[in-house]
Amino acid sequence: MDHIRLNSLVSSARACIADSKRAGVMRFSRGTEKGRFLLFHAAMSFCSQKVRATLLQRGVAYESNEMLILASRDRDGNLVAAENYSAEYVRLRRSGQVSSVRGLADGYSGMSSVSLCGLDACAVPTLVDLDTGEVIVDSLRICVHIDSAVGGSDPLIPIADQDRQRVFRQLEAVDATPHPGLLYGFHPHRDRRPQVLRDAMKTVYDEKLKTLAALAARHSADPEVVEAYHAKISKESAGRAVQHDVVFQEAIRKATRERLAQLNLDLQQSTTDWLCSNSLSLADIFWAVSLVRLRYLGLAVLWEDLPLVEPYYRMVTSLHSIREEVINATIASMPPSAYLSSETATRAF
């Protein structure tokens, strides 16, 4: 993309962050590639955690633009839209929409996969690579891009073709796990989410839809932005429709259990402590983020009879990148969970 246009899009999106202390902040300033990457993200966002953990693991400096991704109320009680719903941010994300993406996401599967569901133009994370002029909007592609761009002697994606294929199979498995559905949905019998979170989820869809409708009306002169809002409205309406749907909630737990069972089998077949190769790979980073989120939601019960998953969880959560950008970020940004505490973060290696 032309750098003048790219800088304009970035500046406009950055300006939508209400607190300047969360915008344009350099992280890991002693790291490599300083001045190259800009990240729009949220502390609590599952997909953002994957990207931040990858950046830290690879020792990459970047400009952090942390967004509030839930609606709030002002002093007068008026609803304030999430920062990632701003038209300026939507324009930035849509500029990164590529032909390989399945269009805009307008349905609900409980997953956040861009490759499987399409682009949510109101979601995080978004990575801007100033060197190449690219805007990348898919967390899986972002992590692969970072690893490839940095190079060096400790890549997270192996060079050996067979190991590389194993890694991508695991990345796709995590990408297709219904983490958003598990976060937002009410299970009729086994809902172990923090009570504060459950209470917030009772109104979250109504608040999303109300702010989106107002934004679509406000920006009616911009068809590309309005199209994105209408797709988002369709997606969130579908999500609200299955939030209490017993069949849907059971199905996404079953799907998650099946992926964990496959993980246990893959660990059994691995010849090293790591999942796909002789050293840490991006597959281990992705699974670490997934397992932390599931534990936070009280869903470690899904692997309690899978003997290799818990030891693997303890190993990958001892990584500094996971403790800092996943465990600590979750604890700091989400309601307290009885299933996840700072004690979960053990010795780093």
| pLDDT tens digits, 275-321 | 999 999 999 999 999 999 999 999 999 999 999 999 999 999 999 99
Where do the DSSP E strands lie in 67-132?
72-73, 79-80, 126-129
Q: What is the pTM of this model?
A: 0.96
Reduce the DSSP state of residue 26 to 3 states and report it. strand
Q: What is the mean pLDDT of the chain?
A: 95
Reported as a single tens digit per residue, the pLDDT across 244-258 is 999 999 999 999 999
Residue percentage of the chain with pLDDT more than 70: 97
* CA separation, residue 92 to residues 85, 121, 209, 217, 222 (Å): 11, 9, 21, 20, 14
Residue 218: how many CB atoms within 10 A of its CB? Answer: 14
Residue 278: how many CB atoms within 10 A of its CB? Answer: 13
pLDDT band of 343, cuts 50, 70, 90: low
pLDDT above 60: residue 347: no
Reported as a single tens digit per residue, the pLDDT across 155-167 is 999 999 999 999 9
Reported as a single tens digit per residue, the pLDDT across 45-78 is 999 999 999 999 999 999 999 999 999 999 998 9
pLDDT above 90: residue 346: no
* CA separation, residue 36 to residues 133, 134, 290, 319 (Å): 10, 11, 28, 25
209-214 mean pLDDT: 98
**Residue for token pair 């970020």:** 329
Query: What does the pLDDT read at residue 348?
Result: 35
Query: What does the pLDDT read at residue 262?
Result: 99
User: Which residue segments constitute the domains of the chain, with CATH numbers given?
Assistant: 3-156 (3.40.30.10)
Give the phi and the psi of residue 138 in degrees, each rounded to 5: -115, 120
pLDDT band of 153, cuts 50, 70, 90: confident
Helix ranges (DSSP H) in the chain: 3-14, 46-57, 87-95, 114-117, 139-150, 161-175, 179-184, 195-201, 204-218, 223-242, 246-269, 282-296, 309-316, 320-322, 328-333
Query: What does the pLDDT read at residue 46?
Result: 98
Burial class (CB in 10 A: 0-12, 13-18, 19+), 227: middle
Query: What does the pLDDT read at residue 174?
Result: 99
304, 275 Cβ separation under 8 angstroms:
no
32, 60 Cβ separation under 8 angstroms:
yes
Query: What does the pLDDT read at residue 32?
Result: 92
pLDDT above 90: residue 205: yes
Reported as a single tens digit per residue, the pLDDT across 21-36 is 999 999 998 999 999 9
277, 163 Cβ separation under 8 angstroms:
yes
pLDDT above 50: residue 349: no
Joined tokens for residue 325: 């950008």
pLDDT above 50: residue 206: yes
CA dihedral 26, 122, 207, 339 (to 10 degrees): -60
103-109 mean pLDDT: 97
pLDDT above 50: residue 345: no
**Residue for token pair 């997270």:** 156
Residue percentage of the chain with pLDDT more than 90: 92
Query: What does the pLDDT read at residue 99?
Result: 57
pLDDT band of 1, cuts 50, 70, 90: confident
